[in-house]
Chains A and B, each alone.
Chain A
Amino acid sequence: MSYTEQQIADMVQPTKVHRSLYTDPEIFDLEMERIWANAWIYIGHESQVPEKGSYMTLNYGKVPVVMVRDNDNDVHVLHNRCGHKGAKLVDRPCGKIPAFRCCYHGWRYRLDGKLLGVPHLQGYDGTDFDKDDPQYSMQKMTSESFRGFVFATMNPNPPDLRTWMGGAADVMDNLCDRAPEGEVEAAGGVLRYEHECNWKMFIENLNDTMHPMIVHRSVVESALDYIKTLPEGSPRRDEAEIIPPFGASYETFEETGITGFRFGHHYDGGKTSIHAKYTLDPEYEAAMLKAYGKERMQEILSFNTHNTLYYPSLTIKSAVQNIRVVRPIAYNKTIIETWSFRLKGAPDSMLKRTLLYSRLINSNGSMVGPDDLTAYFRMQEGLQSQASDWIEMHRNFARDEKLEDRMVGKGTSDLDVRTQFSAWREYMTEAA
């Protein structure tokens, strides 16, 4: 490798990062080894493997893995690779199987990955091949789940998932608590959106509250322009509550605040966010009231965050019930998945709104996401210029407040990005 440890450490300074972090394929490979293999990476939700034998496939960094529910109802994350010649054992996005069976020589595996059978086994007689040697089974990754959200890691000594999430776990709790039954389930499928940019550009944008009024001005103005033409008393539309807040002022975003944690997690909002003024569905309110009582319900519904990042792979919107998952492909290519969730015990109108939001804001055909993506690919291309080697992140530097387990700052602070890069530096240098 061509970088020394010191050179890597020096690429992240308190108020600036080196452009190679976005443009150098070698840095990307190191990130996969040191960040993506050591952090807890989001795999999927337990509700996506509802029955014994249900599985879903994905890539963990570059590694093909499969999440599967076994016959004891335990959920495992396994390397999706035959212990024989290495063929991927399942190759559909999801499905249901009685056992894994390789398409090549028919090796069979239990749902927890243990090798069950090898055809014509007598050919191995007298050799030192041992079918029960664990190396020939499907390899299991370390996985843990938090309220149904499954994460996995290749780190041999990871902090436990809850400790790693720190105070950012409050938001995932809030997402689930918003269900009258206290649980969510994945619903309504996925959108997979190719982004021609480095993975970090996407996650740096999540709590970047200095961009919406610029990047999303066109759709906000188009919506407001149309709303003006509507006669008095026109029916309320969810779109009219979802789109215009993207054009909120700097002062409004300033007030939302940003909170950062160890390991790179952060969220914006808390007391308020751009989702705070959504009309409360009366049927949903009644179900929540019944489940929690007034005080607890108000506590749950008044915790209003916008985007919460579990660095580096998962971002959730608790108030909207959708999540986006980051799947890096190359230094300049990333796939962003958008999944929607149903609040168990809530009326169907809640999932309908979630899907409306996902479509309106995050879909490939939306009028919001493509404008964000334009900024990302222009950065990806612009950073090929050597005009400067550094990208600044000074905003509100040294004005953020350090509390016991978190940093808090104004909504327009670069605290979020500094939080990410502090984790980047820790992962990239500690693991060496």
Chain B
Amino acid sequence: MTAVITSNEKIREIEQLLYQEAACLDRPDLDAWINLYTEDGTYWMPAIPDQEDPHTHISLFYDDRVLMEVRRRNFVHPAAASKDYDVRASHIISNVQVRELDEKSGDCTVTSNFHCFLYYRDKQTPYAGKYTHELVRDGDRYKIRSKRVDIINCDATLNTIIIYI
């Protein structure tokens, strides 16, 4: 692994994937979203800053493929009362930095800052923080192997977080 950032072209490609993922969550469309992840992909939202792992400390979210599949179905299930309300989001992603890059495979770790406004139950809630994406090459495209979402108020008292941020 080297910590160099290579071509503009690669950065553009990575940014486009992050934007594409954010667009899936803006709508939100979890059927499209899940396809951006590898079969062993994970989505993790820690409950404290600098949390070391999802198994020895509580997290707000830690979904692997199995739970993503359950959540995808539950999100549109007609009997889920908490989903009776419109869910709309707007994500802005910036400060994209490639932290680690395997020049040979193209696999990389990318960090970015995000602001997300989430509209749910007549209320608009702002979330802000840092994304860490692990991306792996899958043919001519990237897929997400892991996404870590560190919201800056992760250890505050929070209300329901109805959808992935």
Contacts and interface: CB of A to CB of B under 8 A. Distances in A.
Interface of A: 187-194, 196, 214-215, 217-219, 221-223, 225-226, 229, 237, 239, 243, 335, 338, 340, 348, 351-352, 355, 358-360, 363-365, 367, 369-371, 373-375, 378
B129 to A, nearest CB: 14
A188 B52 CA distance: 11
Given A188-B57, A370-B162, 15 more contacts: A189-B57, A189-B58, A192-B157, A218-B77, A221-B77, A243-B70, A340-B58, A355-B56, A359-B60, A360-B67, A364-B161, A365-B45, A367-B71, A367-B80, A374-B82
Contacts of A360: 67
Contacts of A193: 157-160
B58 A222 contact: no
B61 interface: yes
In the A-B complex, the 4 residue pairs with the closest CB atoms: A218-B80, A222-B73, A218-B77, A192-B157
A352 B57 CA distance: 8
B69 A352 contact: no
B33 to A, nearest CB: 15
Interface centre among A215, A226, A340, A358 (most CB of B within 10 A): A226
26 contacts: A189-B47, A191-B47, A215-B81, A218-B77, A218-B80, A218-B83, A219-B70, A226-B73, A239-B66, A243-B70, A340-B58, A355-B55, A355-B56, A359-B58, A359-B59, A363-B60, A364-B158, A364-B160, A364-B161, A367-B70, A367-B74, A367-B80, A370-B82, A373-B160, A375-B81, A378-B81
A190 B58 contact: yes
Interface in B144-162: 156-162
B151 to A, nearest CB: 11
Interface in B73-95: 73-74, 77-84
Contacts of A222: 70-71, 73-74, 77
B130 to A, nearest CB: 17
